[in-house]
Structure 1
Amino acid sequence: MNQKTLAAGLITLLSLPALAQSSITAYGLVDVSAGISKAPGASASVKSVDSGKMTTSYYGFRGVEDLGGGLSATFNLEGFLRADIGASGRSATDTYWARAANVGLSSKEWGTLRIGRNTTTLFVATLSFNPFGDSFGYSPSIRHIFTSNTVTGDSGWSDSVLYTTPSFSGFTGSAFVAAGEGQGGRNVALSGTYAAGPLAGSLVYQKVQKDGGTTPVDDTEVTMASGSYDFGAVKLFGQYASAENLTRRIDYKIYEAGASVPLGAGKLLAQFGKINPSTGAARQTWTVGYDYFLSKRTDLYAMAMNDKLSGQSAGRSVSVGMRHRF
């Protein structure tokens, strides 16, 4: 079955009458921006239209069936989208459902179990405790953890099993494993999260030995502590991560601090982060911006970033863009 046939079949399912105790939902987000950027050390800047600077554009389908006794069956199918060129995936190498593809069981009493391709607990914690969320374009936290060669492994793991506990007075825990399947080893992660009132925090441990592709990756290990406190007039964020590349024997210390200030119909956002490696160039990143909401589903943003690697000229990026959720 090709990709177009599969997508058409899912859309057809959405048009069928839903059973009284089951549902299928289509959803997604499109993010497109225009701007100018220069990478650290580069001699010239590039003007471009980009997809996913603030949130990687995606589309998805999810379903829930009530099995009785408080137990539900679930599924998620989610793919990435490059809206600037009308192509699927974050790049040409992405699989069709690269964001998520899983089935599971969920219970308020026993928690949730999902099997397939799942978003990692490290990625969820990273986006949850910085003011720029899951922005690969502008979040110092996301860039330092996932695109600076500090940690291997994608933001989603294939061949995985993810268990999340019910909430106990604001506390939840999770255990996550991705089977090795002859690709160099398995991935494992453990996490704990607290969220109640204005205070929230998390602690995540992750070890990666495979990346789901055919090319071997370095073995890496990371522990990250995160926290936030919402004072009303300002919400503060902080993160500290200790990462180790076990293959190359390099250690990284990662520090992040940010703030979100409600202003008019939007929020003023700011964050500073740095990476201190045991060998190699240190990195410091500043980002400031304003996110203005036209509605609950649509926002406009303007962002500026300064990104500096030791010994190289600073990189700079400026973008204005729009996100729409459906």
Structure 2
Amino acid sequence: MSSLPHRAAGPSLARRFVRPALWRALAGACLGLCAVEAAAADNLQIYGLVGSYAGSIKRSDNVERATVVGSGGLTTSWWGIRGGEDLGGGTRAIFQLEQFFQPDTGGAGRSPSDPGGFSRSAWVGFSGGFGQLTVGRHTSPYYVSMQMVNPFGASVVFSPLVLQSYVSTFGGVVIGDTVWNNVVQYVSPTVAGLNATVLYAPGEVAGNAGVNNAGVHLRYVQGHWSAVLSAQRVRTAAVAPSTGQQAWLAGAAYDAGWAKLYASAQRTENAVTDIASRTWQLGTSVPVTQGGSVLASVARTTVERPALAQTARNTGALGYDLFLSRRTDVYVTYLYDRVQGRASGNSYALGIRHTF
């Protein structure tokens, strides 16, 4: 007799605990579906690139060789979120949030000096028939132009042009980062293959509006040709001399089918110190297998300092990049580096990239 109440308690417990769990599962599924629908409606995307390489690195000014497993390689690893909302009349509200990361260590950013949040870009704005107007942290259009006119693209590890321009351990002559803060940027509509980007970044120094960064950039892409003409003035960099620098870049690329040819020239002038530099670069990308291309580039930078002898640096890169699929490629690279008056350096690496 005493077992009957015990048996009757079973269904009661099931009603108390199983049904609420079922309702919670159903509610979660509904919320998930709603989130998917909202994402689809606003075109929300999660995307990025992860890459890494292993190799042996020795610059011309290095005494010792280093064996490394590095993050990035041909492209710095990053992930992002972007989306927008149709406001009607052909106008959209848009945003983009992107973060660098280091797959070799799992660290955020390119280095500890990067912002803890979205170090690659963080902006919001509008787009439409008038072009695109955005405010926030942006990749420098000068750096974007540089990517278009050399076969190693954005690589801060293997591109001779980028190394000699932006990487301090290679004597980078361009003051400032590849990413700018506090930017108001306008990108014009493309007409006959030509568009313009204009940006302004106040230094946010009270009582000194002259501390600011600014740039004007023209890009042309039509048929087999690509060309860039970029000019920027930097006054808010943390790297000396922070009193300012002007930089100009001109370059072109021509796709002949059997090869793509690249050429660029750059000039920088630093205020106060009167230090100036000239850089030229030649390169090519030659398809040699199904999905595979040989990449080659050479760059030379000469630096002029008052009352000192002119110095020069020569850097050359040779690589083979093989796409295993639309989103995955593997590559091998060799880098030669020579600073005037010093022993040469030689580096080589094997790497992989995957986009998502």
Question: Is the shorter-chain TM-score for this pair beyond 0.5, marking a shared fold?
Answer: yes
Bigger CA drift: 115-124 or 12-21?
A: 12-21
1:43 alignment counterpart = 63
Q: Tell me the amino acid that sits aligned with residue 172 of structure 2.
A: N
Structure 2 residue aligned with 1:114, among 134, 158, 173? Answer: 134
1:128 alignment counterpart = 148
Greater fraction strand: 1
The alignment partner of 2:44 has SS state of strand
Q: Tell me the amino acid that sits aligned with residue 276 of structure 1.
A: T
1:203 alignment counterpart = 229
The alignment partner of 1:54 has SS state of coil
**Structure 1 position 63, deviation (Å):** 0.8
Q: Tell me the amino acid that sits aligned with residue 121 of structure 1.
A: P
1:266 alignment counterpart = 292
Bigger CA drift: 199-208 or 217-226?
A: 217-226
Residues paired across the two proteins, number: 313
Query: Would the aligned equivalents of 2:176 and 2:239 in 1 still touch at CA under 8 Å?
Result: no
1:157 alignment counterpart = 180
The verdict on how the C-alpha distance between 1:217 and 1:170 changes in structure 2, with shifts beyond 3 A counting, is same
1:23 alignment counterpart = 43
Q: Give a deviation string over 1:130-176, Cα, whole Å, max 9, x none.
A: 10010000001111221233111111111101101001111101111
Structure 2 residue aligned with 1:57, among 77, 87, 96? Answer: 77
1:8 alignment counterpart = none
The alignment partner of 1:31 has SS state of strand
The alignment partner of 1:317 has SS state of strand
1:291 alignment counterpart = 321
Q: Give a deviation string over 1:194-216, Cα, whole Å, max 9, x none.
A: 110001111001000013x6987
Q: 1:92-241 counterparts in 2 under 5 A? A: 92-95=112-115, 96-107=117-128, 109-147=129-167, 148-182=171-205, 185-211=211-237, 217-241=242-266
Query: Would the aligned equivalents of 1:224 and 1:242 in 2 still touch at CA under 8 Å?
Result: yes
Q: Give a deviation string over 1:269-317, Cα, whole Å, max 9, x none.
A: 0001000111353110010000000111100000000011111111211
Gaps of 5+ in 1: 1-11
1-side partners of 2:161 and 2:262: how far apart? 11
The verdict on how the C-alpha distance between 1:314 and 1:99 changes in structure 2, with shifts beyond 3 A counting, is same
The verdict on how the C-alpha distance between 1:291 and 1:53 changes in structure 2, with shifts beyond 3 A counting, is same
**Structure 1 position 16, deviation (Å):** 4.0
- Percent identity reads 35
Q: Tell me the amino acid that sits aligned with residue 156 of structure 1.
A: V
Q: Tell me the amino acid that sits aligned with residue 200 of structure 2.
A: V
The verdict on how the C-alpha distance between 1:259 and 1:13 changes in structure 2, with shifts beyond 3 A counting, is farther
Query: Would the aligned equivalents of 1:150 and 1:244 in 2 still touch at CA under 8 Å?
Result: no
The alignment partner of 1:295 has SS state of coil
2-side partners of 1:155 and 1:72: how far apart? 27
Greater fraction helix: 2
**Structure 1 position 17, deviation (Å):** 2.4
1:321 paired with 2:351, answer yes
What is the alpha-carbon root mean square deviation over aligned residues? 1.9
Q: Tell me the amino acid that sits aligned with residue 229 of structure 1.
A: Y
Q: Tell me the amino acid that sits aligned with residue 232 of structure 2.
A: Q
Gaps of 5+ in 2: 1-31
2-side partners of 1:247 and 1:90: how far apart? 31
1:275 paired with 2:301, answer yes
Q: Tell me the amino acid that sits aligned with residue 189 of structure 1.
A: G
**Structure 1 position 21, deviation (Å):** 4.2
Q: Tell me the amino acid that sits aligned with residue 166 of structure 1.
A: P
